[in-house]
């Protein structure tokens, strides 16, 4: 089903005519007041740092808005992955501009998510998330567009209001300071004084209650008449509005590109089998103390259809434990890439998950994988990660996962990489490498599609860091990574990294908190 055909209720506050009226009213005020003013003259008087700072704060407020919306989706179990959440907001801006052109009702955030990832079918839990987020953001348009759903979400009572309220407050504060910075960049600090900040905050709230076309709406009218109706003030606020309009158009352009790519990916993938069953591949080498717990956590996931243990020549009871647990047991020469490749080749289900022997999956991991792969552009992904009984120097492992996926475009081994089986076969399988197979695999997968971060958190052991020290281990990891980038062979890298990759048979697994 084409993603632009999702149904949308016609609400007066979402109608294109309402947005056009606000834009025309503001343009009328601006045209009468700024006939003889140079819009950007203040920029030549040393205000450029304020312009850059204000614009940066507006972008930071946008990130807080994305985090708030993603938290609302995640709280109701409706999130796909964080990049999809950001793109859905950009797509909404595109649909709003499209609605103005075609004179149709604009799509709210809930409808955009439904159209993208649920084939246009109404989903009560998405509307619960959208209403929850809209109330916190004081977004009257979204509240009216998402009435109370007929069927309550099964997880609606678990919404974390405190966390979402923090994101909403950050969004409001950063956007208000950003607007104040833009006003200062046009020389309006003296005109507004401390009241300018209050005016910016009032404008930010007013802009949430009533729709407007980019930088031309009720927010700008409120700023103009609060700071003073002089021609210079109104002209400078119009200049600020132009910057906001440019930001809105950039979002809409990116949303249009994302919508086009989504439609193309859905058409290319066609009626491929639903990714509902998962084959878990676990490479082992002397993992008798960790394996039982890892398999037990994986078996608690309904979507896991099989656990394949590929042993690299253990001298302890690893193979006996795998047989006792009913896993498919394979043997291979040592080398994690070689072991993973063998297990993935024999996997029977449409999704392959590469799981380290000391990494534990949460019960909702299967559902998170399914929602993530509902995005037809995504061919593989990983999970958020935290360490069990971590030393203090390991704080911050979760944000690193986001940086690795969104900026580095790679999934490291202990993030429990999951891959579409057909995509893995198309790139030739897991690279047969002794070390750094996750880097090489991510590079191949990027050519086949997108990598994403599923909305669930795995826990992994910090035993290497405890045994060798946090600083020493990170130093070796960093050194090996850069030697790999400069062309050092995996066999040579394994010799350097061997002290950190050997399993510590004296370390017992611990229960997750």
Q: Which CATH number goes with the domain that contains 352?
A: 3.90.550.10
Rounded CA-CA distance 260/510 in Å is 47
**Is residue 95 located within the same domain as residue 143?**
yes
- Report the pLDDT averaged over residues 82-102: 80
Q: Which residue has the higher pLDDT, 453 or 106?
A: 453
Q: What pLDDT score was predicted for residue 155?
A: 47
**Is residue 247 located within the same domain as residue 377?**
no
- Report helix angle 161-185 to 194-209, nearest 10: 120
- Report the pLDDT averaged over residues 326-343: 90
- HSE of 508, CA atoms in CB hemisphere, 13 A: 2
**Is residue 244 located within the same domain as residue 109?**
yes
Six token digits for residue 307: 């656990």
* Lowest mean pLDDT across 31-45, 181-195, 253-267: 31-45
Six token digits for residue 49: 């740092």
With respect to residue 513, please indicate whether it lies within any of the assigned structural domains.
Answer: no
Q: What is the pLDDT of residues 59-78, one digit of tens each?
A: 898 888 888 888 888 877 77
With respect to residue 509, please indicate whether it lies within any of the assigned structural domains.
Answer: no
- Report the pLDDT averaged over residues 400-424: 89
With respect to residue 152, please indicate whether it lies within any of the assigned structural domains.
Answer: yes
Q: What pLDDT score was predicted for residue 412?
A: 87
Q: What angle do CA 71, 73, 75 make, to 5 degrees?
A: 65
Rounded CA-CA distance 239/287 in Å is 64
* Strands 417-420 and 351-354, bridge-based pairing: antiparallel
Q: What pLDDT score was predicted for residue 2?
A: 41
Q: What pLDDT score was predicted for residue 121?
A: 46
- pLDDT-based confidence at 444, cuts 50/70/90? very high
Rounded CA-CA distance 255/98 in Å is 11
Q: What pLDDT score was predicted for residue 321?
A: 92
With respect to residue 16, please indicate whether it lies within any of the assigned structural domains.
Answer: yes
With respect to residue 510, please indicate whether it lies within any of the assigned structural domains.
Answer: no
With respect to residue 212, please indicate whether it lies within any of the assigned structural domains.
Answer: yes
- Report the pLDDT averaged over residues 338-350: 91
**Is residue 338 located within the same domain as residue 263?**
no
**Is residue 360 located within the same domain as residue 400?**
yes
Rounded CA-CA distance 363/378 in Å is 22
- Report the pLDDT averaged over residues 20-37: 65
Q: Which residue has the higher pLDDT, 126 or 302?
A: 302
**Is residue 478 located within the same domain as residue 405?**
yes
- Report the pLDDT averaged over residues 31-53: 61
**18, pLDDT greater than 70:** no
- % pLDDT > 90, the chain: 17
Contacts 24+ apart (CB under 8 A), 169-175: 170/61, 170/64, 171/61, 171/64, 171/65, 171/68, 171/137, 172/61, 172/201, 172/204, 172/205, 173/61, 174/57, 174/58, 174/60, 174/61, 174/64, 175/57, 175/58, 175/61, 175/204
Q: What is the pLDDT of residues 188-209, one digit of tens each?
A: 655 445 666 677 777 777 776 6
With respect to residue 243, please indicate whether it lies within any of the assigned structural domains.
Answer: yes
What is the residue whose two structure tokens read 């990027």?
446
**500, pLDDT greater than 60:** no
* Lowest mean pLDDT across 50-54, 159-163, 351-355, 490-494: 159-163
Rounded CA-CA distance 31/34 in Å is 6
**96, pLDDT greater than 90:** no
Q: Last residue of some domain: 231, 252, 269?
A: 269
Q: Last residue of some domain: 269, 304, 336?
A: 269
* Lowest mean pLDDT across 121-125, 264-268, 344-348: 121-125
The answer to whether 46 and 98 are in contact (CB under 8 A) is no
- Domain of residue 493 covers 278-501
Sheet holding 359-360, edge to edge: 328-331, 304-311, 278-284, 351-354, 417-420, 378-388, 450-461, 359-360
**335, pLDDT greater than 90:** no
**Is residue 330 located within the same domain as residue 220?**
no
Rounded CA-CA distance 8/145 in Å is 8
With respect to residue 427, please indicate whether it lies within any of the assigned structural domains.
Answer: yes
- pLDDT-based confidence at 421, cuts 50/70/90? very high
What is the residue whose two structure tokens read 């193979």?
319
**Is residue 213 located within the same domain as residue 308?**
no
Count of domains in the chain?
2
**Is residue 211 located within the same domain as residue 308?**
no
What is the residue whose two structure tokens read 């040579």?
492
**Is residue 98 located within the same domain as residue 236?**
yes
**Is residue 453 located within the same domain as residue 367?**
yes
Which residues are 359's β-sheet partners?
Answer: 460
Mean pLDDT of the chain: 76
According to DSSP, residue 148 is labeled P
**44, pLDDT greater than 60:** no
Buried b / exposed e along 449-481 (16+ C-beta atoms within 10 A): bbbbbbbbbbbbbbbbbbebebeebeebeeebe
Q: What angle do CA 177, 181, 185 make, to 5 degrees?
A: 170
What is the residue whose two structure tokens read 């700071």?
227
Q: What is the pLDDT of residues 132-160, one digit of tens each?
A: 777 777 776 677 666 665 444 444 444 56
Q: Last residue of some domain: 203, 235, 269?
A: 269
* Lowest mean pLDDT across 166-170, 369-373, 498-502: 498-502
Measure the N-to-C terminal CA separation of the chain; round to a whole number of Å.
43
Return the closest-CA partner of residue 329 out of 302, 306, 299: 306
- Cβ contacts of 475 within 8 Å, gap of 6 or more: none
- HSE of 178, CA atoms in CB hemisphere, 13 A: 20
The answer to whether 184 and 57 are in contact (CB under 8 A) is no
Q: What pLDDT score was predicted for residue 219?
A: 72
**Is residue 173 located within the same domain as residue 298?**
no
């Amino acid at each position: 089903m084409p993603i632009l055909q999702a149904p949308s209720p016609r609400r007066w506050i979402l109608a294109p005519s309402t947005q056009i009226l606000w834009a025309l009213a503001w343009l009328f005020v601006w045209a009468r007041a700024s006939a003889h003013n140079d819009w950007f003259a203040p920029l030549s008087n040393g205000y450029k740092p304020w312009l850059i700072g204000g614009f940066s704060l507006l972008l930071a407020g946008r990130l807080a808005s994305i985090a708030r919306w993603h938290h609302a989706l995640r709280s109701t179990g409706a999130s796909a992955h964080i990049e999809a959440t950001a793109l859905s907001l950009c797509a909404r801006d595109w649909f709003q501009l499209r609605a103005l052109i075609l004179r149709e009702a604009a799509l709210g955030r809930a409808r955009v998510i439904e159209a993208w990832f649920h084939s246009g079918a109404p989903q009560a839990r998405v509307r619960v998330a959208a209403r929850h987020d809209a109330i916190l953001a004081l977004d009257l348009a979204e509240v009216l567009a998402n009435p109370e759903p007929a069927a309550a979400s099964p997880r609606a009572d678990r919404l974390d209001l405190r966390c979402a309220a923090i994101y909403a407050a950050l969004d409001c504060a950063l956007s208000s300071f950003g607007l104040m910075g833009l006003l200062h960049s046009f020389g309006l600090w003296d005109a507004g004084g401390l009241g300018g900040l209050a005016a910016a905050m009032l404008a930010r709230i007013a802009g949430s209650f009533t729709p407007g076309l980019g930088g031309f709406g009720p927010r700008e009218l409120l700023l103009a008449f609060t700071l003073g109706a002089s021609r210079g003030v109104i002209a400078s606020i119009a200049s600020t509005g132009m910057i906001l309009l440019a930001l809105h158009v950039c979002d809409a352009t990116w949303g249009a590109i994302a919508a086009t790519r989504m439609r193309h990916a859905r058409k290319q993938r066609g009626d491929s089998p639903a990714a509902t069953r998962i084959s878990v591949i676990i490479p082992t080498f002397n993992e008798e103390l960790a394996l039982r717990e890892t398999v037990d956590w994986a078996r608690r996931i309904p979507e896991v259809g099989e656990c394949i243990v590929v042993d690299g020549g253990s001298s302890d009871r690893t193979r006996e434990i795998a047989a006792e647990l009913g896993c498919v047991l394979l043997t291979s020469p040592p080398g994690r890439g070689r072991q993973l490749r063998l297990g993935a080749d024999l996997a029977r289900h449409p999704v392959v998950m590469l799981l380290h022997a000391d990494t534990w999956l949460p019960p909702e991991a299967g559902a998170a994988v399914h929602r993530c792969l509902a995005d037809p552009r995504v061919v593989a992904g990983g999970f958020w990660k935290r360490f069990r009984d971590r030393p203090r120097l390991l704080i911050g492992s979760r944000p690193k996962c986001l940086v690795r996926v969104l900026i580095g475009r790679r999934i490291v081994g202990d993030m429990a990489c999951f891959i579409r089986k057909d995509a893995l076969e198309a790139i030739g399988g897991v690279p047969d490498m002794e070390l750094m197979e996750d880097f090489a695999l991510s590079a191949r997968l990027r050519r086949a599609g997108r990598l994403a971060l599923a909305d669930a958190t795995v826990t992994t052991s910090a035993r290497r860091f405890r045994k060798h020290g946090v600083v020493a281990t990170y130093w070796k990891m960093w050194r090996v990574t850069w030697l790999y980038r400069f062309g050092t062979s995996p066999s040579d890298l394994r010799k350097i990294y061997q002290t950190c990759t050997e399993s510590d048979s004296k370390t017992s697994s611990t229960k997750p908190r």
